[in-house]
Structure 1
Amino acid sequence: MAKLLYSATMSLDGYIAGPGGDMSWLTDHLGPPNPTADRLLSQVGAILAGNGTFGGSDPNQGTDKEGAFGGQYHGPVFILTHRPPDEPVEGLTFVGDLKTAVAKAKEAAGDRYVNILGANVAKQCIEAGLLDEVLVFIAPVLLGDGVQLFNNPGGERVRLEPLPGESAHWYRVAH
């Protein structure tokens, strides 16, 4: 059964995107191959992203590395949105509610991960008790403003447990 994993690259001060969802800051931090990211890519069976991520910028825009995982991911992608585009977008499935989006993505992923892209979708999954794991890559930069990895003022604390044998910032959500 597929697990839901929220993975993101975060600035040292906790932002996954700059103001307005800008991802250009990440370009300077896309360096040599990362064994954890490479291993993750082979374990992703589907991607679930929000409309902000779908409509946001890509640090590799206009290059052969444009797209998820530097253009290396080629699988099912589900976009959670109440505002789907008027025309179909090849390779993307637009879904209007979280429960249906998660079910479709999990079915498509099989026994691999559904990789959550986007802070808002991750927050919704956490609030619904659906998120299984969190993986954070940390870039050596301070953005000062933007989209936080997780922002839930007044919300409940979410306890995370390090996954055994992982040297990266990879955690299991304690339910």
Structure 2
Amino acid sequence: MAKLLYSATMSLDGFIAGPDGDMSWLTEYLGPNPTIDELMPQVGALLVGQRTFGGDDPYKGTEAEGEAFGGGWRGPSIVLTHWPPKDDLPETIFASSLKEAIRLAKDAAGDKYVNVLGASVAKQCLAAGELDEILVCIAPVMLGDGVRLYDLPGGGARVRLERKDVSHAEHATNLWFRVLKR
């Protein structure tokens, strides 16, 4: 059965995107990362939030623009949105409820990972008790503002984690955790 994995590159001060979803900061930290290279064949589907799906692309202006993981991964994407585009997109399915999106993504992934992309959809998966693991690639930069990896102002719930792995790449330190279920 598929597991849900939230993965993101994060600044040292906790941001996965700059103000207004700006991803341009990430471009200089997209160097080789063996942990991500090893993960790609283990991913069977993506579960993507609306803001991530329609947001900035750190590969903008390159051959890899518009490609998941800069073209390092190919397969089905399930986008959680209330505003699907009118035109069909190859290997992309739009779902309007979290429950439906998770079901579709797990079905598509088979016994591989569903890679969750986007802070909001990851937070929803955590709240629903569906998120199994978190992989954070920490880039050596501080942004000071933007979209946090995890944010619940005024009502934050503690999420207990168990370290699964720590590794280092040229431009990041990778921290991989299991989410301890309640």
Q: Same fold (TM over 0.5)?
A: yes
CA RMSD of aligned residues (A): 1.1
Q: Which runs of 4+ in 1 moved over 4 A?
A: none
Task: Find the counterpart in structure 1 of residue 40 from structure 2.
Answer: 41
Equivalent-residue separation in structure 2 for 1:166 and 1:14 (angstroms): 17
**SS in structure 2 at match of 1:70:** helix
User: Residue 62 in 1 paired to residue 68 in 2?
Assistant: no
**Fraction of identical pairs, as percent:** 63
Unaligned runs of 5+ in 1: none
Q: How does 1:153-172 map to 2 (within 5 A)?
A: 153=153, 154-163=155-164, 166-167=166-167, 168-172=174-178
**Per-residue deviation, residues 73-107 of structure 1 (Å, max 9, x unmatched):** 11000100011112222221110000010001001
Partner of 2:50: 51
How many angstroms does 1:2 deviate by?
0.3
> 1:125 is paired with a residue of what secondary structure?
helix
Is 2:103 the partner of 1:103? yes
With the length of structure 1 as denominator, give the TM-score of the two structures: 0.95
- Out of 153, 156, 179, the residue aligned to residue 173 of structure 1 is 179
Question: How many equivalent residue pairs?
Answer: 173
CA distance in structure 1 between the aligned counterparts of 2:137 and 2:73, rounded to whole angstroms: 18
TM-score by length of 2: 0.92
Structure 2 spans left out of the alignment, 5+ residues: 168-173
The amino acid that maps onto 2:19 is P
Rounded Cα–Cα distance in structure 1 between residues aligned with 2:61 and 2:75: 20
